[in-house]
Chains A and B, each alone.
Chain A
């Protein structure tokens, strides 16, 4: 076969293979990455909004820590808030119509972003339950999706030894330990530290080991069942 024919055939075949390679777990992993980025940038945006709003009415921002409640509150007008919280003498200044407008726009955009975050979280939870029912039962769905994202795919996670799953997310500490065993101790847990079983138990290393072995079994059940 001539090169030209071979080339066209290879291009066609590769395209089909790429299309076939996108499965549900890849979709889930991408959504997880999006959620991570969204949460990170939402925190930064809220922080900037707080600083901006403190010029106008600093007392609210000082008393209310939770970002979602804070956003909801400040969409109300200034007079209303002063009455509600009984603020006598604010340190903030009065803003002109023009300055207020852009602040309101900012607040609206962040509110929609928080809604998007909620929707995305719901979507990820449902999708994880569908793809890996046993794993998401054993760990919470969000933790399960993070584990999948770190492993790369459900197959990778299923073929992983449980000791590796235990340390997923602690690669930096692990390699620091491998390079200099005397100076640095081996890490006991990676991202599974967020599981409530480990949070509540006193012997955290032991709990992490147990949990990792259970999660491995659950993942393998999910992968080989279909």
Chain B
């Protein structure tokens, strides 16, 4: 077993995290054995980014704001890693946040938020200090939302990660053109550290790792 990050291990091809709540399973087939949980890269873009060897600025004491948490699959694994930090999971569809609330009640470092990521001023006072933003939402204006949230929450030298889904920006355009446009837009405001396509795991997805100037 090889250690990749804090609490993250690679066993042959399988990505594992050390379980924060012992022996408890939250999703289908996520229990590997008593101490580890199995992380499926096809369900989680963060996991596929790790396997693609993207440089991810996640430490165990980071405070993360996760935009587009959905059922909380990725969030639950991030909370395994963030043993000294915390994570705020935000989504705006009530029926998926229901699952998220159950998850947050069991994990002490997760906090749910039912808000629209378009309006960061609405949930500004529900969040303590944050130094990393991870965004994975399927909206047309996802880049603008990303920049808006960075402006409200991050300080200089903090990191932000954006997963772009080309199909939700414009189905008719070629994904490569969209990714180029996004990169140009991001470079105007941020320092780009790493970027990669998530190809074998997700189609038409691209990940950008940025640092605030």
Contact = CB atoms under 8 A, between A and B. Distances in A.
A179 B98 contact: no
Contacts, number: 50
Nearest to A175: B171
Contact of B101 (A14, A21, A22, A179): A14
Query: A interface, how many residues as a size bin?
Result: 10 to 19
A7 B114 contact: no
Contact of B98 (A3, A7, A18): A18
A18 B110 contact: no
Interface of A: 1, 3-4, 6-7, 9-11, 13-15, 17-18, 21-22, 175, 178-179
Interface residues of B, number: 21
B104 A11 contact: yes
B140 to A, nearest CB: 15
Interface of chain B: mostly helix, strand, loop or mixed: mixed
Interface in B74-91: 86, 88
A110 B100 CA distance: 38
A120 to B, nearest CB: 21
Interface of B: 86, 88, 94, 97-98, 100-101, 104-105, 108-114, 126-128, 171-172
Contact of B97 (A1, A3, A4, A18): A18
Contacts of B98: 18
B30 to A, nearest CB: 22
Given A178-B172, A179-B172, A7 B97 contact: no
Contacts of A11: 101, 104-105, 111-112
B94 A7 contact: no
Residue of A1, A10, A178 ringed by the most chain B CB atoms within 10 A = A10
